[in-house]
Structure 1
Amino acid sequence: MTQMLQPEFDLLDPNNPTQDDLIEIRRLLLADLRGLKLEKIELTYEGEDDTSQIESFSAIPSMDLAADVIYRVAMFGLAYTYSVNLGCKDSYGNEGVLKWDLANDSIDIFHTEHSVYAQAETHRDL
């Protein structure tokens, strides 16, 4: 089921999670999501300037999830994506998809930045 939401992530917020925070957040979320018998999560996002937001969220198998679970996953996804793509705040805009295979704990990020040229990146098995 695809669910729409728009939590916003501010790239310049000094309280953004550190790499160590992201490791712990990922570990806790993984346990919670596996406990719900989820297999995969997919987030699409879009950003401009110093902020980004989730455009869509889907889970496999499809199920209604509590708003707080969706919010936690969305904020982790944005923070994790931008920890990998550090140059995104200097672009004219960006968009992408994060796919998290929960069974293998593997995250693939397909990220595109828009500036004078477009540069596509793929990160697999993170």
Structure 2
Amino acid sequence: MKLTPVIKMEFASVLGRPYVGLVEIDEEQQRTVEKLFEAYEAAERDLAEAASKREEAAAGLITVLEGIGVRPAEEPKTTPADRDKIRLWAERAGHKVAPRARIPNAVRAAYDKAALAGKLKDDEKVG
């Protein structure tokens, strides 16, 4: 008669769900669990590495996009004082901007590009 070992199994989580149990398994089942768990852990490491690479790539891409004047779809909220400073810069830079109308995206992108290049005077800087 072959004895099956009783094994307490605890995994931190599989797909975010904890698994625990006191089970009787044979050697083949144990090898299968170990093999699959190793594969799962390797995949988790690969995902973590891919996420890290994705974050690095995203940070670089955002820096380049913002450097050439491409902005996120949702504009950050500006105060009336901020908008006055942007208008002042726009006027000095030769852009036509109405005193109370919405600042055109092209003007805002040009302003941001000038800000990133360090070309704003102190009285033109927002924030």
Could you say which TM-score interval applies, normalised by the shorter chain?
under 0.3
Larger proportion of strand: 1
Larger proportion of helix: 2
**Greater CA radius of gyration, 1 or 2?**
2
